[in-house]
Amino acid sequence: MANDIDLKAAINAVSDVVQNRPRPLREFDQIYMKTGDMVMQSEFVSRWADGKRLAFIGDGDAISVCTAYFSAKEILGTGPRHITVFDFDERIVRGIHRFAEHEGIENLDAVLYNCLDAFPDAEPFDCFYTNPPWGASNDGESVKVFTQRGMEALHFEGEGAIVIADDSDLAWPKQVLHSVQEFAIENDFFVSRMMPQLHSYHLDDAPDLKSCNLIISSLPGSGRAPASEAIRDAEVLEHFYGKSASPYVRYVRETRRLDYGKANESEYEFELLEGQD
């Protein structure tokens, strides 16, 4: 952690974000990063994407919100010029809109989007960030889908940060890392930096599993207009969210707005004092 960040202010800012973040849907591999690592990751993203247009391809962790909030509260003097989050979970999209409006954050936006659909036409971004399903059951195919959409967001010219499983004792993270690096090379990107075993997660069945930041950069002159298409290949979609978990949902819709900073009324009931019926 750099010396010029107020650690208490940063932790409190991340706490504000976490209080307003929807609960994870495990069936879609929404597994959230632990708070201390969120502080460090948000600082990294703020410095890495300073002054740039940044696209998040999915963002259950809410690193996008933390990064924008750090700048808005002047916790850091760096930060992206603009952040757009593309996510298929309407709870996340609307939560970002509400938080940005409440805090007066003008350079943060979110769009409802499923990465299996063609990427929407947009002015090219400078960099992308994604923490996708880690591809343990499909040799990284799910990671490659999210990475492809990030590359398309850049028009294949810029940098991407891919958060991916990294464990020295397991075989599958190594296989996925190899597969994703091959995919990057095939698309005229190369691995310019790797920050190993950096993040921990609230993951009951693998509490010690960590992830790394894999930074990829485009080769000079490799930019091109993307011809984005929907992805419906059965081999790609098989085990997309884990064993026997292929995509079947286009969007997660928000049916009722919840205040995640307070207990839900379905979690408790009152037993009254005598005479208070």
- In angstroms, rounded to a whole number, what is the distance separating the alpha carbons of residues 248 and 5? 43
Q: What sign for the dihedral angle of Cα 143, 145, 146, 152?
A: positive
pTM (predicted TM-score): 0.92
7-249+258-267 architecture in CATH?
A: 3-Layer(aba) Sandwich (3.40)
- In angstroms, rounded to a whole number, what is the distance separating the alpha carbons of residues 117 and 129? 18
**Burial per residue of 260-272, b for 16 or more beta-carbon CB atoms within 10 angstroms, e otherwise:** eeeeeeeeeeeee
The pLDDT assigned to 268 comes to: 78
The pLDDT assigned to 207 comes to: 83
Instruction: Give the pLDDT means over successive 10-residue stretches in the chain (277 positions).
Output: 78 95 87 94 98 97 98 96 97 96 97 97 96 90 96 97 94 96 97 95 85 97 89 85 80 82 77 79
Q: How many CB atoms lie within 10 A of CB 232?
A: 10
The pLDDT assigned to 243 comes to: 74
Domain boundaries, the chain: 7-249+258-267
- Asked if 160 and 150 count as a contact pair (C-beta separation under 8 A), the reply is yes
Give pLDDT tens digits for 82-101: 999 999 999 999 999 999 99
The pLDDT assigned to 2 comes to: 46
The pLDDT assigned to 1 comes to: 44
**Could you tell me the two tokens for 205?**
């069945």
Give pLDDT tens digits for 130-178: 999 998 888 899 999 999 999 999 999 999 999 999 998 899 999 999 9
- Asked if 52 and 81 count as a contact pair (C-beta separation under 8 A), the reply is yes
Q: What sign for the dihedral angle of Cα 47, 48, 54, 57?
A: negative
Residue type, 121: D
The pLDDT assigned to 260 comes to: 67
The pLDDT assigned to 258 comes to: 67
Within 8 A by CB and 6+ apart from 148, the residues are 183, 187
